[in-house]
Amino acid sequence: MNHRLLFTFVLLAFALTSQAASHKRHDSPPPTRIACVGNSVTYGYGLADREHDAYPVRLQSMLDAKYGAGKFYVGNFGHSGATLLSKGHRPYIHEPEFRQALDFKPDWVVIHLGLNDTDPRNWPDWKEEFIPDYRALIDSFMVVNPDARILICKMTPIFDRHPRFQSGTRDWHAQIQQAIEQVAFGAHVQLIDLYTPLHSRPDLFPDALHPNPEGAKILAQTVFAALTGDYGGLQLPPLYSNGMVLPRDEHLLIEGQANARQSIHGVLSKGRKVVKECSAFTRADGSWSIELDHMQAGGPYTLTLTSTPLRPGDYQLYYPSHYPFDLLGLKPKDKNAAKAEKLVIDSIFFGDVWLASGQSNMELRVDQCNTLEQDIADARRLSHRIHLYNMPARARTDAVAWPDSVLRFTNQLRHMDFQGWTEATPEAVAAFSAVAFNFARVLADSLPHIPIGIICNAVGGSTTESWIDRATLERHIPNILASWRIGDYGQPWARGRMSQNIAMALNKESTAYNPLQRHPYEPAYLFEAAIAPLQHFPIKGVLWYQGESNTHNTELHDRLFTLLQQSWRRFFARRWQCEFQSKPQLPFYLVQLSSLPRPSWPAFRNSQRLLASKLPYTWMAVTADLGDPSDVHYRTKRPVGQRLALQALRHTYGHNLVSEGPVVVRASAANPGTPNAYVTLHLSNAHGLYASQGFELAGPDGIFHTAQVHVIGTTLRLSSPHVAWPVAVRYAWSPVTHADLHNDAGLPASTFLIEVEN
């Protein structure tokens, strides 16, 4: 080849190389490759159209919608039945999808494994190898791409309907979740919580393990938020709104949500004066919290919250190096997405907030009671000192079939209407719980310098079990979750009313057919729809008026009410109570059932008395003297609120007053076996005793006879010519009772049954 030809060839090669380089410079960067690694949930098992509904496919669509097509490439590398454990019955690392995922050379890896490791063939023998095996799996992706971003997932739920739930799966699932958290901590990788968003939605898991299309969409949304840091912007729980009451005189955490990589700045002001300033950074999951320390009672204040994107220098301090600062330079289509956001809450007061809950007698409104005029007059007098937050049900549980729209929003846990804070104006009070308002009224009169807030979320006909969180029921009474509709756990009336309401969902010919349809009476539902949205709001205590829908089984109710207290105390103390703060347990003030011609009610009232006496920080208001024999919803609710308030003033606020009627302490016999035998009842709160009827004595034969009663100082003497050997005393033991034992404060005694000491 001559030199001219060689030169021409070199020039041509150079031109071609330059042209290629120029094209390369102007080409868009290659898409970020995301590998979704997992088992059947990732694969999309059970979905009729997995090519469109599997969560990785949904994730691709969400990323395209936010950033434009071609920026991300999501691969589904799920394999049904795969285990994380390398010695499991079907190790993921031995499946073709594992090799395909490595060949994919992903930039980001989302791993959701562990569900199949709950199999008895796996976890019992090989649990010690789970963490090392998980770390090895992570390392394998780092080998093919040392810059890979790894995200591992807490497992989706396995529900009580799963055949192995009680034989080990429930417990092993919890142990594996803990191990996954340890892996995330040890490997310094991001953790995605797929459990919490779905654990309250059993209706989305037809086989108790695999989500339906709606469940897969929630999965995709959760992963999308973790990948992009887009959690919907600056947000607060629904109770944080204009006119709210926050707790006084204690360390307070205000928690919220924002996008990841944000700086949160809070300013508390009164008028133009800045009272407190505080700052925080959002965590990787978008959560944040700021502290307000020991504010005195009063108001109004304004809280201004600002969310600002972190600068790169700040970002490096608060996020691991592998966590992308700005999605590798990608920008969302929404130009305002990265701008600062602001929330302003006006008219904040610091005081005491109480939660009033239960069923219809707590729900009964002021305008349905016989003291409407008096209550409205009090509302005019106290409106600026009492603040109400009403959360009524959006659909009543009357004897009707609900339309499809109600069935749908009930499944979505949107059964409650969050109506916001308002002062206790006559209009607001008329539509508010009569018991709750009158409780707040007495507190406002007795504590004139403390703003009183009260939240009411009672639901007519609701059951005790509906107010308990799902994890507690899964642990202690799992069968109630699976058998409530058809078994003996639920009261027949409650189960029947539920069947009426969801009739369309139970009809296979209906377009609304859904065998997993939800209802507010079912176990765990109202905790998920009415308590969980309160987001650990720092309440002072609980007013509880419920039980009518559980009187069919006193022994079961004893267990359920005890679990309910444990559930709520754990929930409301979890986040806002600081480790260094010593605070007594959340107090419960319960209302004993009234008089009504239902045979089981005396024993149930006595069981409530015993619960109040043995459970910590629990007190009771008696209402047997107020009931209406012809109406379970008796209209005299003003005294009920007053009696609850007296108990709270004494036991929570430390006021020296008589807060309840006479309480039986013990019963002792004298002259047993003779015609002069009698029983002495020893009572507390017994000043100015009055009693004329309602007492019965029984001998060894267990037959009760009416007893004559005589007041002797602070004791009562009971006798009956038919009982020479008294062994038991009972009082007000009738569904509708006219028993009249009370003290000089006019407060009645509870129904009781007590053994006699001989």
- The arithmetic mean of pLDDT across residues 239-256, rounded, is 94
Which residue type is seen at 654? G
The fold of the 663-757 domain, in CATH, is Immunoglobulin-like (2.60.40)
Predicted local confidence at residue 483, as pLDDT? 86
CATH number for the region 349-651 comes to 3.40.50.1110
C-alpha 663/C-alpha 667 separation (Å) is 12
Mean pLDDT in residue range 111-133: 98
Say if CB 227 and CB 151 are below 8 A apart: yes
Region 230-257 average pLDDT: 94
Which amino acid is present at 124?
P
Q: Can you give the pLDDT at residue 310?
A: 86
Q: Is the pLDDT of residue 123 over 80?
A: yes
Q: Which residue has the tokens 């035998």?
A: 677
- In whole angstroms, what separates CA 84 from the centre of its chain? 31
Domain ranges for the chain, please list them. 26-228, 349-651, 663-757
CA distances from 371 to 152, 452, 631 (A): 59, 21, 17
Mean pLDDT of 490-511: 95
Query: How high does pLDDT run on average in the chain?
Result: 92
Dihedral (Cα; 63, 150, 328, 218), 10-degree rounding: 20
DSSP state of 749: P
Task: Provide mean pLDDT across the span 247-260.
Answer: 93
CB within 8 Å of 562: residues ≥ 6 apart: 611, 615
Task: Name the band, by pLDDT with cuts 50, 70 and 90, for residue 578.
Answer: very low
* Identical fold between 26-228 and 349-651: yes
Classify domain 26-228 at the CATH superfamily level.
SGNH hydrolase (3.40.50.1110)
The Cα-based distances of 83 to 80, 106, 126, 238 in angstroms read 9, 21, 11, 40
Residue 4 confidence class, pLDDT cut points 50, 70, 90: very low
Owner of token pair 């009920």: 640
Quote the tokens at residue 374: 């008096």
**Both tokens of residue 223?**
């992963």
User: How much is the pLDDT for 340?
Assistant: 85
Produce one character per residue of 706-727: b if its CB has 16 or more CB atoms within 10 Å, e if not: ebebeeeebebebbbeebebbb
Positive/negative CA dihedral, 608, 614, 618, 622: positive
The two tokens of residue 125 are: 């023998």
Predicted confidence (pLDDT) at residue 326 exceeds the cutoff of 70: no
Per residue in 639-654, is it b (16+ CB within 10 Å) or e — as a string? bbbbbbbbbbbbbbee
Helices (H) and strands (E) in the chain, counts: 24, 26
Mean pLDDT of 246-262: 93
Q: Is 403 exposed, middle or buried (0-12, 13-18, 19+ CB in 10 A)?
A: exposed
pLDDT tens per residue, range 274-311: 999 999 999 989 999 999 889 999 999 999 999 999 87
Torsion sign (Cα): 490, 493, 498, 504: positive
3-state secondary structure of 353: strand
Residue 671 backbone phi and psi in degrees, to 5: 55, 45
393 in Cβ contact with 415 (< 8 Å):
yes
CA distance 472 to 560: 10
Is the pLDDT assigned to residue 6 strictly greater than 50?
no
Q: Compute the distance between CA of residue 65 and CA of residue 445 in angstroms, rounded to an integer.
A: 56
pLDDT band at 758 (very low <50, low <70, confident <90, very high): confident
The neighbour count for residue 62, using CB atoms within 10 Å, is 21
